[in-house]
Structures are given as structure tokens and as C-alpha cells.
Structure 1
């Protein structure tokens, strides 16, 4: 969705006309009450109203986007540089609160220099109540979508402009905290070029896409078709529910899973999902090619997807700490929007590097496990292929787990395990069998509940395999969504508590200090 196309910067009414279905827009605005302005400011307000034909720097209302009712808040930059004073802030808050009351998704299109300087600190503090209203909207499980327009800076960028579940921007838009003119006036030197532009923010993982106004309604429609879900219809059980583990040995499955032609998350989304909207980065200045974050629909079932991506020939994609911070963004989205979370595991291991260690990889794995095991949304994990070490473990905990027949899960690559135990890699095949890394062992131990067959190798039938996997995912998502999170959470905890239970630890009545002597 990233594009270099340059687009005309639309004013508020032009943007509303471009995005809202014809004839459906209805304004929510009531006449503004100005603060007690001095003569000079009164003249500025009158001139802005005469110039723009609107009474304030924001317009609010509702309309339909591809037939779906949506609330909108759009800045008018020509009105005192889109600045937010007390009247504009009150209009924004009233619109957000109304959207929340009426259960509407909200599209915000800021274009603003920030706080209105003529109104001082009280106007500056209005960003707090706007942020509070947005927070309440999000906590109600309602989508908040942001379209950053040229330019958006200052307090607007640092409040309601940066709180979207999904954030896209118009091509070439100037976006940043400190306006370049302010920077130059304070520091005596120009701000570095090409930093505060939409395309650079995309590259840094701060926004999800760069989209011209002509495509915005399509993006909103795709997003809301996934985010706004209806009842979950009963789905016929897929044939994969009766699939048994492969009779291949663990080492054979490992070899099959390492085939570079094996389908990965990209093919699963292309062939197995009905609709996909990729997201980008952590939203905090990081992105890592080792993980993909997306919204998707499998059949009628919507979900947030986080998963490993296999390396491309020119790319190193071992999962680093930024990958997991992006994954945790996906976890928060799932919880807030009430969507199931799908994790897809296919990794030869987490990154081993100075940067990964200093970036806190171990801590990010721990926090991912912590969040997943208690996530307040249904969770489904898929073992797609390789499953090595902490990189795999970080995305594993889930209410249900599906596995491809030749997937596997191990604390280290078998070669590494052999090197530790035997001081060479010659025993990797026997180590893989002894450690029980394959699907047969994982199924027997209660970790994997659903197996998708390979006929006889997913690399030989990538599209058909991904379609079967997509059907299995749709079935499991529907079942989980109908189960209710109050039932799922204790069952999820019990599932992992039972692992290793045959050793008798579960039934022990010992005191914490250990067995009686």
C-alpha cells in the first residue's frame, strides 16, 4: 500500500466528499461559542470564517463509507492552520463521545499545526480531554482510524493524531511533533530534510501505510469489514479434524519443513484468507522483517494475525526484539477490538546478535508469553513449519493449536541440541526423535489439537495446502469466538498447566518448600 504518488492536499469538505458515499453526509456541528477574544483575535477568527466558509478548524458528522455508517472528524487547515482552540476541542470531544454512545467506528482526518497559540495554555490542555474521549471510544471496542494529512504537527500529532488502531497518511504529508519553522527559529538551523514526511514514517514503522485520498474509502472499507464483526455462524467441521499425525520420523519432518519452497505466512494469507489488511511496525519507530502483522478474515471469521515470515534470499529475517514489540501491538489490538488473535509459527530461531541482546530480546520473549497466556481474547496458534527456541515459544500459547503434519517444535535446532549433549552435530537425527519435537509427540502430549495434512509435502501443493489450513483456521476461530472468553481463559491456563502432568506434580500436596523428608 506504500506509494510515492503525490496527491492534491484536500480541504475538509473536499476530503469528506471524496470519502463519504454521495448524499449520506450529515453534520453534527452546532454553532461554536468562542472564548472571550481580544480585538485582534476576533478579527483573525472573522477572517478565517470568511476565507474558508466554515466556523471552526474542525468539521464533525457522520456518513456512509461503502454503505457502512461511520463518524468522521476532519480538520480544516485553512482555518488558522487547523489549530485547536477551546471551541474546536469541545467539538471534537462531543463528536467522539457521540460516536461512542452510538457504537460507531470513527475516522479522524487531522491537518493541524497544533494548539491555537492565541488561546494559550488552556487550549493546550484540551489535548488531554480529547485523548480521554478517544481512550473511552477505544475501550468500548470501537475502531478508531486515523488519516494523517498535510501537515499534522504539534499537540494534535502528539494526541488524537497518534492514537489510531490503524494509522495511514497521505503521500508527501509533513508529519511530526515539532514544526520545522519552530525548530529553525529555536536552533538557528533548518530541520533535516525528508524526516517528517509520511513515506519516512512508514519506513520507520510509525504508520501503517501511505494512501492517496482517492484510495482512503477502500482502506476504511477493508479495515471495517474485518474489525466490525457480526454473529458467528456455525461452520461445518472440516475434514482436517480427522487427520492423524504423519508416520514420518521427526528428522524426516524437519528436513521437509526446511525446504525453501515450503509455503509460509505470506502464502497462507494469499491463498487461505478471504481478505487481508497488512499493518506496519510497532507504531513506535520500529519494524522488523522477521514478523508480519495484519488484520484478516478467514471465511467469515475476522482476526488479528501475527506471525513469522521466512527469509527472502536477500534478507535476514530472524526474529529480533522489535518483532515481538510489533507482535505485542497486535495483541493489544485483539484485546481492544474484541477480535481473536492468530499466531503463525515458522522460525529457525530468534536473532543471535549484539543488537538483539542489547535490544532486550529475552525480556520481549518473556513479555510476549506473559501477555499471550492471559490475553483477554480468543487465541489460536498455528505451527506452520519450523519451530525453534524462544522465537517459536514467544508466539505459541493459545486456546487451540493447529499444526501442519511436518511442523515441529524444539528448544534448539537438533544440531544445536546434539552439540550440547554430544559435542558434535552427528546425533541431530536421534536427538530430534528423543526430544519428541514432531507433531505426533506434540499431539500425544496435548499441545496440538488439530492437524492439517500435507499430501505428502506442503511444498508440492502450496495453494491447496494453504486453502486447507485456511478452512481449519476459520473453523477454530468460529468455535473459539462462540465459546466466550470467560470459559476460554481458565481452560487455556489448565492446558499448559497439564503439560508434564504425568510426572505427578499436579496432584502433589506438598508445601512450597518441597517433599517431606
Structure 2
């Protein structure tokens, strides 16, 4: 495919005549005559004075600061002058409260300038870190090729990271590898598609689709809720007092709506994200930027369709969940968790992958989040995989959802040494939504009429309306008071009213 120059990409991405350059003339680093000649040739070839362009554009009317590389200028390499230009632009974007879009393509640091060029990656990373600490979005679009220090610094820090199709993206350039090891680097590893498959980037999209992605992302990340026309409180509906086992069976129906159906029927915006960003992806968890009505959130949803006996919920799903929690904290977005799991993986790989520790860290992260949090028990809520996403400011439950340390069959096996007593154990353990509300674990039960599988669209719409209402009620509360109240609510679980 044809690769776009920096100016061509601006023409594709920016609104017409919206680009405003922030670049002062590039400074000169002390060089020898040979390097001076290379710089002069690069300037004549590209019409640019350095390998990066910075400034502000509008994308569908949204003002965004940009960092844009030009590979034709000495392979997009970063030296002292380019580093200074990038850092200056990042600080300006932070000061002006602008989202930042980076579009690197580079072979890395500039070899002609040596170690001082190499250390520019620290300066740039520090500036990006300050920008994110100001709770401002940072979006990255990796272009062909992006390697070396650029990929290992500002190319790998995005809240959202997209890459160009069939782009070479990797740490060590293939030519360097071949020179060092006298062998070719394995084919197909350093490609954008392979990085997506391994949960390192969120999506692979052509440049023509980037504007739409940035617009959708910023609509969720930065648009303020209108705070008008909020859904009215609905009166509590009588929840049928059915046996716990009836709910367990209903939650296991293969046609029961899950998180995918919820997003399809009830969300006004969905931008899927992918993986942990650290080389893992689990089909049992969906991570997305979402809006319910005008209320934005980061959503973590256990996907009933992605969990199978061969691919149960594993440690990677919980590490992906923790990425979502950090994202919510970074962007000051509410967090919604959707619980629907038959249980986390019980295997050698899960044990060695740190499953128990990831459950503990998810609980700890959720308890301490500054942002509003809402958990939804949508179906099965089995074991630590469910518990990891429970401790929220508000906990909602579908009528036939349930929460238990083990599936009822497992509890029966422990107590009775058989699975025949599973219905009785479900009743005795108080796992139903009605029991959970009685015990102060669940705040609101979302009715099913009589079973979500028989009315999937209407049920999902009720869940979406409830989420909108709960988020609207939480978003303006003081963060510290909200966190204290969250701790108190779980501290009361299991204690009598007099304690």
C-alpha cells in the first residue's frame, strides 16, 4: 500500500485549512561536515527543517495537538532538535488542555548525534507522562515503519493505540538484527496485525479511518454530559421470589443476552480496545470506551460468548481489566464492570500466570479508584473472577443473576461429596439477587419479564437506562467521600444492624 508523507497525512486527517504550526526554526546541534551535508540534503528533499512537525489541527471540529513524523527526513530519526520540538509541543498541549495525537514513523534515535540523541527519549517520555497526569488524552497512530527508541518511548504510551495496516512496528529494526546476529528476524512478528493479535495495540486501521476513530474516542473521553433530561427514577418492581436454582438455570441459558448484546442494544457509542498493552489478550473480557446516553465510561465486561471450557477466564483478562481501571483513573472517566462468568480458569497456566494475585490487585484497584464505579451482575457470578469486578460504588443485578464463591455444584461437592445437592446449596448460600439485596451487597435489581433470554432487547435497554441513571447520580459526588462510602458499604457486609 502507498505510504503517506507527513503533509499527505495532514491532508487526510485535518479539517480543511485547520493546521497551525507550532514549530520554531530547528536548532543546530554541533555536527561535523558530513552530518551537516546529510541535514541539508534531507531539508532539500522534504521541504522540512526537521524530522517532526508539531502544531494544532481540528478533526471534525475538535481541536487536537499533533506530533507528526516524516520518514523521508533521515528515516524519521530523533535528534536533539527534534526532541526539543516534540517536548515543547507536548508541554504546550498540556498547558492549553488539548488532547494529543502522535503519529510516529521512525527508525529510532539519530545515530549521527549519539547518546545525547538517545536520551531525548527520556525527555519526551517525561513530557508525555506529565500530559497524562493532567488527565488529558494521548492517542497514538503507529505508521510504517516505527522502530527503536521511538516505539520504546512515546510510541508505546497511548491511552488508545492504533496502527497502519501492514506496518513494520517493533523494537529492533530487522536490518540491525541481521547485522548483529547474521540471521534474518522471524517473518510476521514485527507487524501491526501481529501486535494487535497479541494485545499490544488496540486496532489496525488505514489513515482514512483515523479521523473517525479520534472523533469517537474524544467524544467519549472529553465531551461533558449534558446533565439534562436524565431518566426518571423508576419505581421498584416486585421481583418474583423464585428458587435460587431457577435463577442459576436461567443464567446459563445459551441464548441469554451478555455484554455484547448490552452494548449493541443500549450503548450510544462504543470504541473497543484490545488487550493488556503488554502482550496478552483474553477473549473472555471486553474492554471499551462507551457512552450510555450522554454518560461516558470505561467498560470492562466479562463476555459469556468468549469463555469456553477450552478458554476460561484467565489472568490476562484480569490484567486487561486493570488496564481499564488505570484508563478510567487517567481520563477521569467512570468505570462500569459487567460480571458474567462461570468461573476463572483452574489450570497450571492460570496458577503460574498469577491468577490469585491478579484477583487481589483488581479488588485493591477498584476499592481505591477516584472515579465513579458501577458493577452489574448480568448473569453467572462465580468465584474470584466475579469478585474481582464487584467492589463498586453501586452494584446492580439482573433478576436472575447470582454471586457465589463456587458454582453450586462445587459447593455441593465440598459439603456433600456429590453434585446432587447443588439446588439446595444455591438456596442455603444466599446467592440470588433478592438475597444479595437483602444482605446489602446489591443496590438495585433489574427485572426480567420473566427471563432476559425471552426479551433480550428490552432487558438490555433496561440495564442501559439503569446504568445511565446510576452514573448520572455518581459523577458529581466528591471523589474522597465516594471512596470512603465505598469502603464502608463493603465493611458492613455480613454484620448485623447493631454492630
- TM-score computed with the length of structure 2 as normaliser: 0.98
Deviation at 1:8, TM superposition (A): 2.0
Contact 2:225/2:294 (CA < 8 Å) preserved in 1?
Answer: no
Structure 2: state its 5+ residue gaps.
Answer: none
Mapped to 2, the partners of 1:375 and 1:292 lie a distance apart of 20
Contact 1:268/1:470 (CA < 8 Å) preserved in 2?
Answer: yes
2:77 pairs with one of 75, 80, 83: 83
Contact 2:121/2:153 (CA < 8 Å) preserved in 1?
Answer: yes
Deviation at 1:243, TM superposition (A): 3.0
Mapped to 2, the partners of 1:297 and 1:161 lie a distance apart of 27
**2:154 aligned with 1:157, yes or no?**
no
Match of 1:392 in 2: 386
Q: How does 1:426-441 map to 2 (within 5 A)?
A: 426-441=420-435
Structure 1: state its 5+ residue gaps.
Answer: 1-6, 508-517
1:189 pairs with one of 180, 183, 202: 183
Match of 2:325 in 1: 331
Provide the secondary structure at the position in 1 that maps to 2:112: helix
Match of 2:262 in 1: 268
Match of 1:27 in 2: 21
Deviation at 1:23, TM superposition (A): 1.3
Provide the secondary structure at the position in 2 that maps to 1:402: strand
Match of 2:166 in 1: 172
Deviation at 1:128, TM superposition (A): 0.5
2:315 pairs with one of 302, 315, 321: 321
2:414 pairs with one of 420, 436, 439: 420
Match of 2:351 in 1: 357
Contact 1:240/1:451 (CA < 8 Å) preserved in 2?
Answer: no
Mapped to 2, the partners of 1:451 and 1:65 lie a distance apart of 42
Deviation at 1:317, TM superposition (A): 4.0
Pair 8,243 (structure 1): closer, same or farther in 2 beyond 3 Å: farther
1:51 pairs with one of 38, 45, 48: 45
Mapped to 2, the partners of 1:94 and 1:239 lie a distance apart of 49
2:490 pairs with one of 482, 487, 496: 496
Mapped to 2, the partners of 1:110 and 1:118 lie a distance apart of 20
Match of 1:107 in 2: 101
- Size of the aligned set, in residue pairs, is 499
Provide the secondary structure at the position in 2 that maps to 1:403: strand
Contact 1:442/1:448 (CA < 8 Å) preserved in 2?
Answer: yes
Match of 1:8 in 2: 2
Mapped to 1, the partners of 2:310 and 2:439 lie a distance apart of 33
- TM-score computed with the length of structure 1 as normaliser: 0.95
Match of 2:293 in 1: 299
2:362 pairs with one of 359, 362, 368: 368
Supply the RMSD in Å over aligned alpha carbons: 1.3
Provide the secondary structure at the position in 2 that maps to 1:289: coil
Match of 1:132 in 2: 126
Mapped to 1, the partners of 2:308 and 2:426 lie a distance apart of 30
Pair 493,482 (structure 1): closer, same or farther in 2 beyond 3 Å: same
Contact 2:139/2:160 (CA < 8 Å) preserved in 1?
Answer: yes
1:209-237 residue CA offsets vs partner (Å, 9 max, x unmatched): 00100000011011000000315504544
Moved over 2 A (4+): 234-241, 243-246, 311-317
Match of 1:287 in 2: 281
Provide the secondary structure at the position in 2 that maps to 1:502: coil
Deviation at 1:249, TM superposition (A): 1.5
Mapped to 2, the partners of 1:358 and 1:241 lie a distance apart of 48
